[in-house]
Amino acid sequence: MSSTVLNLDEEAKLYTTNAEREKYGMLATLFGIIVALDYLERAYVRDSVTAVEYSPACTRLLSQYKTMVKLVGDDVPSIEQFMSRYRMDHPAALHRIKVGVPATVEHSSEAGPETGKWVAETTQSFITFMDALKLRMRAKDQLHPILQELVTGYARFKGSKDWEGRSKMVAWLITLNGMKASEEITEEQSRQLSFDIEHAYAEFFGSLSSKEST
């Protein structure tokens, strides 16, 4: 009776076609991005990298992550399932992915002096986003880019981390970030989002006005 002899030195192949090889290559790239993002988050918390070094690196990794998720498609139903499947223990990366923006934006850790240009740009971002809601834009791919730009500009203001509007806008960023590109918020969510943004807008100008009067 003949038996198959296994060569323990022979590399096991994960794929037999070019399409499968491409798929596993993209999954490996996604795995690497998550690991890199986790290392970056931990390094920033330990002050091993400065905010100036951290912000662009984090933005680049988040952008690469979003691109890879689109490419792998149905092979990755959710980031949690992907990390569970490959036994990835990277909570810092998972949090950053869910937020969708660098910690410097989420926490407004290093803000500079307020300038007229910043006020004008942030005001325009508020108006643009409120107009989008009034025009009944509801899809994630319509709202998320505008809100992300708004939060990024808003976070530049010193003291913004203590404003109630910041935490609410970041929460909405997380909500939108967890949706599919074509998925839409409900009418109830739209009304609440509009209320929160208008409140943040009023708080933003109220805080600036109080500073100017002191």
Question: Which of 79, 109, 73, 101 is CA-nearest to residue 174?
Answer: 101
| Structure confidence by residue, pLDDT tens digits, 105-150 | 777 544 455 566 777 788 888 988 998 998 889 999 999 999 999 9
Name the one residue in this structure whose structure tokens are 């109630």: 164
Taking CA atoms, 201 is separated from 106, 128, 154, 196, in Å, by 17, 12, 10, 9
Q: Percent of the chain scored above 70 by pLDDT?
A: 84
Q: Residue 197: which pLDDT band, with cuts at 50, 70 and 90?
A: very high
pLDDT of residue 109: 43
Question: Which of 149, 201, 147, 136 is CA-nearest to residue 176?
Answer: 147
| Structure confidence by residue, pLDDT tens digits, 178-193 | 998 889 999 999 999 9
Specify the range with the lowest mean pLDDT, choosing from 90-99, 191-200, 205-214.
205-214
Question: Which of 54, 171, 166, 149 is CA-nearest to residue 110?
Answer: 54
Question: Looking at per-residue confidence, does 169 or 105 come out higher?
Answer: 169
Question: Looking at per-residue confidence, does 2 or 71 come out higher?
Answer: 71
Whole-angstrom distance, CA of residue 180 vs CA of residue 58: 21
Name the one residue in this structure whose structure tokens are 């880019």: 145
For residue 112, give the amino acid letter.
G
Residues near 213 by beta carbon (within 8 Å), at least 6 away in sequence: none
pLDDT of residue 148: 92
Angle at 141 between CA 139 and CA 144, to 5 degrees: 95
- What does the pLDDT average to over 74-94? 90
